[in-house]
Chains A and B, each alone.
Chain A
Amino acid sequence: MSLVLLLEQVLNGVQLGVMLFLMAAGLTLIFGVMGLINLAHGSLYMVGAFAAAAVSGLTGSFLLGLAAALAAAAAAGALVEMLVIRRLYARDHLDQVLATFALILIFSEGTRWLFGSFPLFLDVPTWLSGPVALPLGIDYPKYRLAVIAVGLAVAGALAWLIGGTRLGVQIRAGEADREMIAALGVDINRLYTLVFALGAALAGLAGALVGAIQSVQVGMGEPVLILAFVVIVIGGIGSIRGAFVGALLVGLTDTLGRVLLPVIMTHIVGPQSAATVGSAVASMAIYILMALVLLVRPSGLFGRT
């Protein structure tokens, strides 16, 4: 394996990681601030992708599609928070899991009613399609570079929002002691709706960005949701910084595992079964990583002990 190929794969890993971060950030924020396990986060990702596909199909503009994805997912998130989730904060996690699982089913069948059972079309805009030549002779798709840039920009903006604004102070305070911040006169209901809508918008953005290079179909959110949970467990539940580091770790482990493990397996089990065994081990790699992290740090890399 050449160095150039390896570097290209590292870029692929970073791109996957950045994508996962957009999902995991919302999930970890909602858990951190409200103590809520939201299984329906994957549905909001799907809502974003479908909104982007529908709007860019109608208008022909990818950017309008992205805006629609953000708006639709945030609106769906706020609506769900006010109608359903608000009743669950005081309940235990099992009730939350049951209720948000029901939301997955409702979102999936609702989307099927609206859009039908066949996948929708959403493509990379022409000004971002095709590869671009990077140093060292790497040809890398422009769109994936753009995704990395958007993801990093969102990570920076989130860090500023949480660390440098009044809203961020309220969010952090809400995490630490929700009774106290309510007593200080902050409208906790509004804050919760806002945080939920923010998390939903990030998931919707991820769905729209990924929808352009993958397939926009009912049920697309659930596999990503599982990865996002792995990310926040590794990073430490409730920590945005943990979600970022965890997402990059998972993205790199998954991508490099898929590439390197079949090669390594050739030397262990021989070329005959290397492809199947390597692929099987590669699909376990991130879970092995999670187990190792939990072994050393039971509350995750940046979790509060």
Chain B
Amino acid sequence: MTRKGWVVGAAMMLALGLTQASAQDSALKVGMITTLSGGGAGLGIDVRDGFLLAVKQAGVPIDVVVEDDQRKPDIAVQLADKLIQSDKVDVMTGIIFSNLAMAVIPSAVAQGKIYLSPNAGPSQLAGPGCNPNYFNVAWQNDNLHEAAGAYANSAGHSNSFILAPNYPAGQDALTGYKRFYEGELAGELYTALGQTDYAAEIAQIRASGADSVFFFLPGGMGISFLKQYADSGVDMPVIGPAFSFDQGILQAVGDAALGVRNTSQWSKDLDNPTNAAFVESFQAEYGRLPSLYASQGFDTANLLISAMGKADVADADAFRAALKEADFDSTRGAFKFNTNQHPVQDIYVREVVKEGDVFTNRIVATALRERGDAYAADCPME
């Protein structure tokens, strides 16, 4: 045997040894598909960082394979196939946007993978389309908008102008708001998805004689709207879901967001020990304040860790039952699963404030207590 042959042989033996070592190691394997590039990357980065922080703190054997979906459904589907077939993950998580969730989750859970959603909660997966392998650890998509409607009633608003982008989540948002809101509508408007100039809409709001504005414009759309709204001199109160007021984008909105009320299931000042420890350790680890997305990633990992302590992932029934107990300390305080495996939780009203140089939120009221969702009754699971 030549010298070269020896080297190759030794390398092969070494490789064999390595495979054996990794086969013996019984780490649970998590496949995380999330948005790490393009618009919306801030959300995926926060979910990932929150998730990895919880794994690190618990010190349990979990391998996390992180993949970037670039916010494109076709790429998310390819990544899901790769994670299931070649990485052979046990559990999947991570997707931020509902259209990607709908492209990946139904097929992944049908192949027997457990999926824990840290953000998207499309209504299609909460009603008749619910699945024993699918757990939502964030919210059903309508929840925060319902809370905004409930808050508008208690704040005495009776003539709202409402607007959202013209796509499924935008239509769900306005439906959710109207489900709880009892007053009149001064106007109802759908904008283009990705629209950045709202001069025409703001002029209509000014002319409508409304007493309040509800808007759902996630990400950059919300930044643009709030800045232009503040600059237009219209000064009626604005309400929105937390998506336009999370820690990542508040700094980009600046003073224009001060005092705006927004609804969220989490806030950094929620008074419970888990949350206090989470906020402190997140800031220490990453040098920035956590957003609600980070809290959702953190809770998702802790739910998974709680189930690992009770059952083996190879025993699917026992593992699902352990997940459903939701026996973990959530950053949100009380947290349990509904029959459709979506959260039952309190939803709060927050106000944007400035602490030193940093814009952030504080809780001013509770909008809905122990809210499940409107679709659970249609889910055949018990």
A, B co-complexed = yes
Chain A residues with a Cβ under 8 A of chain B: 2, 5, 8-9, 12, 15-16, 108-109, 112, 117-121, 123-124, 129-131, 139, 141, 143-144, 210, 212-220, 223, 255, 258-259, 262, 275-276, 278-280, 282-283
Q: In chain B, what residue has the closest Cβ to A262? A: B189
13 A-B pairs whose Cβ atoms sit less than 8 Å apart in the complex: A12-B197, A119-B248, A121-B254, A124-B231, A130-B231, A141-B228, A143-B231, A214-B224, A218-B41, A220-B220, A223-B196, A258-B191, A275-B188
Q: Is B223 an interface residue (CB 8 A)?
A: yes
A103 → chain B closest CB, angstroms: 16
Contacts A15-B199, A123-B227 given: A117-B45 contact, CB under 8 Å? yes
Contacts A9-B200, A16-B197, A217-B220 given: A276-B166 contact, CB under 8 Å? yes
Q: Is B356 an interface residue (CB 8 A)?
A: no
Q: Is B249 an interface residue (CB 8 A)?
A: yes
Contacts A119-B220, A223-B196, A262-B189 given: A8-B203 contact, CB under 8 Å? yes
State the CA gap A223–B254 with chains docked (Å). 24
B168 → chain A closest CB, angstroms: 11
Residues of B within 8 A of A214 (CB): 196-197, 220, 223-224, 227-228
B233–A12 CB distance below 8 A? no
A140 → chain B closest CB, angstroms: 9
Contacts A259-B204, A276-B166 given: A215-B197 contact, CB under 8 Å? no
State the CA gap A12–B197 with chains docked (Å). 9
Q: In chain A, what residue has the closest Cβ to B206? A: A139
State the CA gap A109–B254 with chains docked (Å). 25
A131–B232 CB distance below 8 A? yes
Q: Is B377 an interface residue (CB 8 A)?
A: no
A118–B251 CB distance below 8 A? yes
A259–B200 CB distance below 8 A? yes
Residues of B within 8 A of A217 (CB): 39, 220, 223, 252
Q: In chain A, what residue has the closest Cβ to B174? A: A275
Q: In chain B, what residue has the closest Cβ to A121? A: B252
Residues of A within 8 A of B196 (CB): 210, 214-215, 220, 223
Q: Is B339 an interface residue (CB 8 A)?
A: no
Residues of B within 8 A of A144 (CB): 199
State the CA gap A280–B204 with chains docked (Å). 18
Residues of B within 8 A of A259 (CB): 200, 203-204
State the CA gap A276–B170 with chains docked (Å). 10
State the CA gap A5–B187 with chains docked (Å). 15
Q: Is B284 an interface residue (CB 8 A)?
A: no
B220–A279 CB distance below 8 A? no
Q: Is B333 an interface residue (CB 8 A)?
A: no
Residues of A within 8 A of B249 (CB): 118-119, 215
Residues of A within 8 A of B201 (CB): 258
Q: Is B207 an interface residue (CB 8 A)?
A: yes
Q: Is B38 an interface residue (CB 8 A)?
A: yes
B252–A119 CB distance below 8 A? yes
State the CA gap A275–B185 with chains docked (Å). 13
Residues of A within 8 A of B255 (CB): 123
Q: In chain A, what residue has the closest Cβ to B227? A: A213
State the CA gap A220–B39 with chains docked (Å). 8
State the CA gap A278–B201 with chains docked (Å). 14
Residues of B within 8 A of A215 (CB): 196, 219-221, 223-224, 227, 249, 252
State the CA gap A108–B41 with chains docked (Å). 12
B234-256 interface with A by 8 A CB criterion: 248-249, 251-256
Residues of A within 8 A of B41 (CB): 112, 117, 218
Q: In chain B, what residue has the closest Cβ to A257? A: B200
Q: Is B129 an interface residue (CB 8 A)?
A: no
B14 → chain A closest CB, angstroms: 35
